[in-house]
Amino acid sequence: MPAARRTGLSQVDAQDDFLRARRRQVLGRMGRLLLRERGDIDLILPFDEVVQAVGRLGERELGLQVVALDTIVGTTDRQSGFDRQFRPTSARVRARWERVAAAMRRGDPLPPVSLYRIGEAHFVRDGHHRVSAARALGWRDIDANVTEILTRVGADRTLRLSDLPMKSQERLFRERVPLDPSRAERIELRNPVDYGSLAEGVEAWGFRLMQERGQFLDRVEVANLWFESEFAPVVELLRDADLIGDDTDADAYHRLASERYELTRSHEWSDEIIALLKASRRRRRR
């Protein structure tokens, strides 16, 4: 980012800073429209919707921290007047914005901003104008009082509005199939709808296991037994048979488990089943 202009008159320079930030916001939006990029690429993330999608478990105060400005991508206020990069989207915020920018240029002490943290992403509770002006002035980070929101599903700084349905489905899967975190990370599906059908498959697998054993198992027990004795070994079988390809492990397991049942009406895995699946794939390629 080019260095902010400095005339020695902080208020004049702040006015120029605002016009420059607005110009960048307008030009950026126009450029993305011309390139037909994703419509939500510059939309600021709404905190409440993200929390609903990823599932709130609790929170903890982290206190005063230095936070990288490019990780601040959301807000608790949908009417804040800023885009995802905290460039002003209208002249409504101009007067206050310029006062804050002028104070920053003079080196006046300003209070830390207040942020929520979800995974790698930060959301502004208080301090939208300070974050925006700091970015316009070329700052890399800012002092912030941070509250971490503990969630069922993680989030990173690249999260967008269009990703929330996927996150919501992933959250529901983890509620129905409560795996240990390290195991849950391996269950990655590209189609949000598949999380629901995979959860049903795990629950059906658990029901058959309980019938076989003649004992009740809770969701945690079913989830981890399914991972240990079904998912992980089957994925190894599929990988050895070169049936995973470009899919994720979970996508391959989910797809081929469905194909297996269509071909054999069986829930078992064996060398014969793998051979049938490979033969079916060859036929489809012809």
Q: Find the CATH number of the domain harbouring 34.
A: 3.90.1530.10
* Alpha-carbon separation of residue 27 from 34, 36, 205, 253 (angstroms): 11, 14, 54, 45
Q: Does 184 reside within a domain?
A: yes
The domain boundary residue, chosen from 124, 155, 186: 155
Q: How far is CA 53 from CA 99, 167, 190, 242, 251, in A?
A: 36, 6, 16, 35, 21
**pLDDT band at 179, cuts 50/70/90?**
very high
- The mean per-residue pLDDT over the stretch 112-129 comes to 96
Q: What's the CA gap between 88 and 242, in Å, rounded?
A: 51
| Same domain, yes or no: 106 and 221 | no
Average pLDDT of the segment spanning 103-119: 95
Domain extent, residue 281, equals 177-285
Tell me what the pLDDT averaged over the chain comes to: 89
SS3 193: helix
- In a domain, residue 162? The reply is no
- Do 217 and 80 lie in one domain? The reply is no
Q: What is the pLDDT of residue 156?
A: 86
Q: Is the pLDDT of residue 155 over 90?
A: no
In a domain, 170, yes or no: no
Same domain as 88, residue 33: yes
Tell me, what's the pLDDT at 72?
96
Give the neighbor-by-neighbor strand order of the sheet with 45-46: 45-46, 72-75, 121-126, 113-118, 141-151, 56-68
Structure token digits, residue 201: 């498959």
217 in the same domain as 257: yes
Mean pLDDT over residues 190-214, rounded? 94
Measured CA to CA, the distance from residue 93 to residue 89 in angstroms comes to: 9
Number of domains forming the structure of the chain: 2
Predicted pLDDT at 33: 58
User: 153 with 55: CB under 8 angstroms?
Assistant: yes
Is position 76 within any domain?
yes
Same domain for 141 and 48: yes
Question: Is 164 within a domain?
Answer: no
**Mean pLDDT calculated for residue range 273-281:** 86
The separation between CA 183 and the C-alpha centre of its own chain, rounded to angstroms, equals 18
Contacts of 243 (CB under 8 A, 6+ apart): 252, 256, 274, 277, 278, 281
The reply to whether 129 and 258 lie within a common domain is: no
Instruction: Please indicate, yes or no, if residue 169 is contained in any of the structural domains.
Output: no
Residue 30, pLDDT score: 66
Pair 90, 214 in one domain = no
Same domain assignment for residues 271 and 212: yes
Residue 184 sits in the same domain as residue 235: yes
Q: pLDDT grade, residue 1 (50/70/90)?
A: very low
Q: What is the pLDDT of residues 125-140, one digit of tens each?
A: 999 999 999 999 999 9
Res. 173 pLDDT band, cuts 50 70 90: very high
Residues 151 and 24 in one domain: yes
Max distance between CA atoms of the chain, in angstroms, equals: 81
Instruction: Tell me the β-bridge partners of 145.
Output: 64, 114
How far apart (Å, rounded) are the C-alpha atoms in residues 232 and 179?
A: 13
Residues 232 and 197 placed together within one structural domain of the fold: yes
The residue with greater pLDDT, 42 or 275, is: 275
Report the distance separating Cα 174 and Cα 181, nearest Å: 10
pLDDT category, 225, cuts 50, 70, 90? very high
pTM of the model: 0.76
Do 185 and 269 fall within a single domain?
yes
99, part of any domain = yes
221 has pLDDT over 80: yes
**Gap between the Cα atoms of 39 and 42, Å rounded:** 8
User: In whole angstroms, what separates CA 77 from the centre of its chain?
Assistant: 19
Question: What pLDDT is recorded for position 34?
Answer: 58
In 119-215, the DSSP E strands lie at 121-126, 141-151
Q: Let me know if residue 246 belongs to a domain.
A: yes
Check pLDDT > 60 for residue 3.
Answer: no
